[in-house]
Structure 1
Amino acid sequence: MSDIDYAITQDEPTRPVANSPAEVKRVHEAWRMANKVCLLVMKKTMTEALFGGVPETDSAKEFMEHIEMKFKESGKAETKHLMPRLANTKYEGGGSVREHLMGLMDIAAKLSKLKVPIAPNYLVHIALESLPFDQMKSSYNTVKEDWTMDDLITIAVLEENRTKARGGVVNVVTAKKYEDKGAAKWGEKKCWLRRSHGL
């Protein structure tokens, strides 16, 4: 174990007095030096905003515990900020639909890192609801195979391009209904896209 690890993981050893054994004095002095260096390194590498929110202490171990608690609090606050963004962000024509959908994927990835995983099917559902293409949503409900976000991006980008080609009038995807012969395959999706978009 390195000196830094020692200072972060161990409480202060018994403080020696004048008649303490040499070993007790040696152990405490080693901890004191490691603790001093560790505190200095942590404080020098922290941002001012984070440092200002951490209670002052002379123990590197306690200081690290305060930092961990601060990050837990920050994580909860960020989760409370990201969840409404994921649920309420709508595509209204600003920028590209690809950027919009990738933005939702980025929010979901951030939530996953905060230990709030978003199921892939649920993310597709949220993304669909964020788009103004009502018939596309109906088409999704008629197929038996779940779309992935990659599928949705492909379909939405094609629809966006078709809308622009028609002077900006929203003409959403009209899908042919799939027959009840089992799940639709992605190859069938591509054929459908070619027919729907004149590819």
Structure 2
Amino acid sequence: MLNGSNYKKWKQDVNFALGIADLDIALREDKPVITASSTTDQKERLAKWERADRLSLIAIKRTISEHLLGGLPEECTAKQFLASIKERYQVSDNAESGRLLKELMDIKYDTAKGVREFILKIVHYQTKLKTHKIDLNDKFIVGHALNCLPVDFTQIKTAYNTIGVDWSVNDLITKSVAEEEKLKNEKTAVSMLSVHSKPRSSKNNGKYKYSHASHKN
């Protein structure tokens, strides 16, 4: 349901649902014009368009809360209705670009989700920003991802800065995942070593001393 703050997701869902139902012809094409000389196929095309438009409009309105329908046109095509909703709820391009850039700059590596998902999330922001005419090249994305990784990844950061060869995003993912696995294995080894190197309990020693003293008495 459209609630005012989820316009972009709502629009995607509406387009998908109407496409699956083969009703999106009314959104993709203008209403066919019929004349006295129109063929049967052209007339059938008009009938299909009118049916798709009518049902699309009904379907779209069913996904909007009644109190949000106020002020929207009542007599219009489905395409015109969507255009009116877009004018009301669409976030300005500058505001959306600013939000995406801030989220990209503030992104943090999450150990639980892993480095692969972390890098792919950065690439997702890169793709979204490109639609707003902000084109961040792969060199920037690779450098930014490395800078955001914690100090544990110092070895791979040093390798990138000293090797003198630009990495692709796929190169970064491959090397980062391998480094992450190595770090996990090292931590596991250290944990196991710590467990095996703990001093033995002094209970047995105390018991031995007590028994020995009793025997002596």
TM-score bracket, normalised by the shorter chain, equals 0.5 to 0.7
User: Relative to structure 1, is the Cα distance of residues 94 and 147 closer, same or farther in structure 2, using a 3 angstrom cutoff?
Assistant: same
Distance in 1 between residues matched to 2:134 and 2:76, nearest whole Å: 30
Match for 1:128 among 136, 146, 154? 146
Alignment RMSD: 3.7
Give 5+ residue unaligned stretches, structure 1: 8-33, 170-199
CA–CA separation in structure 1 for the residues paired with 2:188 and 2:102: 29
Q: Which residue of 1 aligns with 2:134?
A: 116
- How far residue 131 of structure 1 moved from its aligned partner, in angstroms, is 0.7
The correspondence of residues 8-157 of structure 1 with structure 2, limited to 5 A, is 38=53, 41-42=56-57, 44-45=59-60, 47-48=63-64, 52=68, 55-58=71-74, 60=76, 63-70=81-88, 72-73=90-91, 77-132=95-150, 133-157=153-177
Q: 1:55 to 1:125 in 2, by over 3 A?
A: farther
Residue 155 of structure 1 and its aligned partner are, at CA, apart by 0.9
Identical columns (%): 28
> C-alpha offsets along residues 3-49 of structure 1, whole Å, 9 cap, x if unaligned?
x7249xxxxxxxxxxxxxxxxxxxxxxxxxx99x8477335325326
Quote the Cα distance in structure 1 between the aligned partners of 2:82 and 2:56.
12
TM-score with structure 1 length normalisation? 0.54
- Cα distance change, pair 126–91 in 1 and its aligned pair in 2 (3 A): same
Aligned length: 141
SS at match of 2:136: coil
3-state secondary structure, aligned to 1:5: coil
Give the Cα–Cα distance (whole angstroms) in 2 for the partners of residues 53 and 76 of structure 1.
27
Q: What is the TM-score normalised by the length of structure 2? A: 0.51
Shift in Å at residue 54 of structure 1?
7.7
* Equivalent residue, structure 2, for 1:159: 179
User: C-alpha distance in 2, partners of 1:55/1:116?
Assistant: 34
Counterpart CA distance in 2 for 1:123 and 1:94 is: 22
Cα drift, residue 97 of structure 1 = 1.1
Task: Quote the Cα distance in structure 2 between the aligned partners of 1:97 and 1:54.
Answer: 47
Unaligned residue ranges in structure 2 (runs of 5+):
1-25, 33-48, 190-217
Q: Distance in 1 between matches of 2:139 and 2:89?
A: 30
Question: Higher helix fraction: Structure 1 or Structure 2?
Answer: 2
Instruction: Determine the C-alpha separation between the residues in 2 that align with 1:129 and 1:156.
Output: 13
Cα deviation for residue 159 of structure 1 reads 0.8
Whole-angstrom distance in 1 between the partners of 2:112 and 2:140 = 24
Which letter maps to 1:5?
D
Q: Which has the larger radius of gyration?
A: 2
